[in-house]
Amino acid sequence: MSVINNSKTLLTRKLFSHARPLSKDSFVRIVEVGPRDGLQNEPKTVPSDVKISLIDRLSDTGLKTIEVTSFVSPKWVPQMGDNAAVFSGIKRKAGISYPVLIPNVKGLEAALKVEGIEEIAVFASASDGFSKKNVNCTAEEGVQRIKGVIDAAKNHNLRIRGYVSCVVGCPYDGPVHPSSVTKVSEALLEMGCYEISLGDTIGVGTKQTVHAMIKDLLSITTPDKLAIHCHDTYGQALVNICTALELGIRVVDSSVSGLGGCPYAKGATGNASTEDVVYMLNGMGMNNGIDLKKLVEAGNYISEALGKPTASRVNKALYQKYNL
């Protein structure tokens, strides 16, 4: 289906024109996690060429960071079993970082065999319950395992991003105290992560709990070392992202078409959709460098490939209503 035709150009310009001239300070970097966080939870195998085509489309939208895949055990997450083929198949563009998620040294070794991997992401949990289900060890053991990965990665000059999951609530342990998040984040920063992405894995956070969690972190670090990663299970993702922006965070993780969820976090839905985040940022006058129309097209591509409706409200409104 043609996404745009000439007769609709005027309408399109109107719809996509709300970005205002912005100060440098207001730039927000979006980390697109759809190809990894988004697809890892899909029950049916997504063909590698579909994943590659999605990433190539995303590379044309203006995104500066696209998480491509994970090198986790295929026994645990079969959907990511084609990691090397997917990474090798994409057309990498200059100026875009393509991190991959790494759980252990074995995963790092596998990633190092693939040409072109320059950035990795490691992941820990602020709660024991989720850590045990997700990586088969306690949160503390998980941090020690990550240390091994980071020490080895440093020998290869890789950039290392850190995730902390369950930053406000755990599906197994319940509410998570901010101090647990601060403790794990501090350890990862000290080990050499350039940034910590704060994952509300099951989307239970509210303005108040997310605010308290970030405030606690700001006693040991600065907002430029933090990113926010919200799942939208309870419809709070955009509010929680705004809360992070108000506290000075300028990196937002999101997932095209609102794909996603973690196979080991029961009931968790997808991330905040990248289309919704970009629309919101544009409306707030916060520059992000992303072409919303191309993003909507990428979102529509993957929704059609998966045979399910988009979870993005903005995608629905712009694509389906106006047939762009």
Ligand X SMILES: CC(C)(COP(=O)([O-])OP(=O)([O-])OC[C@H]1O[C@@H](n2cnc3c(N)ncnc32)[C@H](O)[C@@H]1OP(=O)([O-])[O-])[C@@H](O)C(=O)NCCC(=O)NCCSC(=O)C[C@@](C)(O)CC(=O)[O-]
Among 46, 72, 181, 189, binds ligand X (CB under 6 A): 72
Number of residues that bind ligand X (CB under 6 A): 26
The Cβ of residue 322 has, within 10 Å, a number of other Cβ atoms equal to 13
Sorted by sequence, the CB contacts under 8 Å of residue 276 that are 6+ apart come out as 237, 238, 254, 258, 312, 313, 314
CB 54 within 8 A of CB 90: no
Among 37, 82, 173, 232, binds ligand X (CB under 6 A): 37
Note whether 201 binds ligand X by CB under 6 A.
yes
Minimal distance, residue 192 CB to ligand X, in Å: 18
Note whether 136 binds ligand X by CB under 6 A.
yes
Note whether 163 binds ligand X by CB under 6 A.
yes
DSSP string, 11-36: HHHHHT-------GGG--EEEE-III
Which residues are tagged catalytic? 262
Note whether 135 binds ligand X by CB under 6 A.
yes
Minimal distance, residue 179 CB to ligand X, in Å: 18
Note whether 106 binds ligand X by CB under 6 A.
yes
Note whether 165 binds ligand X by CB under 6 A.
yes
Note whether 180 binds ligand X by CB under 6 A.
no
Among 31, 34, 55, 71, binds ligand X (CB under 6 A): 71
Cα–Cα distance measured from residue 200 to residue 311, given in angstroms and rounded to the nearest whole number:
18
CB 103 within 8 A of CB 70: yes
* Residue of 220, 226, 212, 117 whose CA lies nearest to 164: 226
Minimal distance, residue 4 CB to ligand X, in Å: 33
Sorted by sequence, the CB contacts under 8 Å of residue 177 that are 6+ apart come out as none
* Residue of 153, 150, 152, 125 whose CA lies nearest to 139: 125
Note whether 172 binds ligand X by CB under 6 A.
no
CB 278 within 8 A of CB 238: no
Q: Which residue is nearest to ligand X (CB)?
A: 199
Cα–Cα distance measured from residue 71 to residue 104, given in angstroms and rounded to the nearest whole number:
9
Minimal distance, residue 73 CB to ligand X, in Å: 4
- Residue 201 or 236 having the CB closest to ligand X: 201
Among 241, 262, 302, 318, binds ligand X (CB under 6 A): 262
* Residue of 103, 139, 137 whose CA lies nearest to 123: 103
Note whether 110 binds ligand X by CB under 6 A.
yes
* Residue of 183, 137, 191 whose CA lies nearest to 161: 191
The one segment of 99-107, 181-189, 289-297, 316-324 that binds ligand X by CB under 6 A: 99-107
Question: Which residues between 281 and 300 bind ligand X (CB under 6 A)?
Answer: none
Instruction: Quote the crossing angle between the two packed helices 237-246 and 207-217, to the nearest 10°.
Output: 40
For 195, how many CA atoms within 13 A lie in the half-sphere containing its CB?
A: 22
Among 35, 38, 99, 103, binds ligand X (CB under 6 A): 103
- Residue 153 or 318 having the CB closest to ligand X: 153
Note whether 69 binds ligand X by CB under 6 A.
no
Note whether 303 binds ligand X by CB under 6 A.
no
Residues that bind ligand X (CB under 6 A): 37, 40, 70-77, 103-104, 106-107, 110, 123, 134-136, 163, 165, 199, 201, 229, 262, 264
